[in-house]
A and B are shown apart, each in its own frame.
Chain A
Amino acid sequence: MDRQTNPDRRMNLDIDWTSCQGHGLCAELLPEHITLDEWGYPLLDGTPVPARTVKRARRAAADCPVLALRLAPAQAG
């Protein structure tokens, strides 16, 4: 199994709704996983972030002005 598709390296996105201000930056940085709802808040597509996208996802998380976007290892299996 190559490291691009290895399920052990996938990550899940998670929003801390008590912090998120709907800045929408995350949707610009990670459009294939995050869109915005009609009020400007992020809608996650619910799929794990594949290994090849994890680096960009980390950027998006670090760039969220209130650090509301988080990454956690996807459950194996």
Chain B
Amino acid sequence: MAEKKHKLLEVKGLTMDFGGLRAVDSVSLEVHEGEIAALIGPNGAGKTTFFNCVTGIYNPTKGDILLHPKGLETRRLNGLKPNKVTEMGLARTFQNIRLFSDMTVLENVMIGRHCRTKSGIFRSIVRGKAVLEEEQFIVESSYQLLEKVGLEDFANEFSKNLPYGAQRRLEIARAMATDPFLLLLDEPAAGMNPQETSDLDQLICKISTEEQIAILLIEHDMKLVMNISNPIYVMEYGKKIAEGSPQEIKDNPKVIEAYLGEEVDA
């Protein structure tokens, strides 16, 4: 990594307490332009909590979350509402799928477009030309996103009727509909079979290269992580215990210990 890449997200000393439990303990992390970074760690390490802090669902106890959009001034995300964070260009998916189950697949994606469009109540009632055009734009662009993730055939199904793997891809499409420059994926491969996982692998690479969206992903599937991501950050008990390239992580004794348990190296 010789050339200097633009830093998009910079998290410094992020700490999150739940009562007496310190779920995230001064974790620092950076995501640069064009990167697919990964955040890994055993169950309960605090990865999802970290995401929730960054995306405004929790207000962190300590630390700074700085977003450096290209060509715009730096913004501190601490304490911002989730919708403001999303408006700034940082979108996410959820570990426990949170689709709008009684809406169609296409409508789910159209919701993502909400923050990039603007027809208000009165204009929606009058339904003038501008509103109709915007509406058509929302439909078309959402459909194109469905094509990108390969769900166009399901466009008019209720999202609750989709198979599991498709639901995860729909979450990605919905997040992409908010026009992010950084996408946070929380265990996108969870519950997928090997075929679906390798498709997802390609989809994530495609999003990164074709759409120029940087990605930070949480994942337990080591094969997927080692294949596509660099750098990798490792968390355990709320603390960051390692960071580096896939090779460095594989050889790091602390990581091996965290994953295999202490008794192994004794």
**Does A pair with B?**
no
Interface of A toward B, CB cutoff 8 Å: none
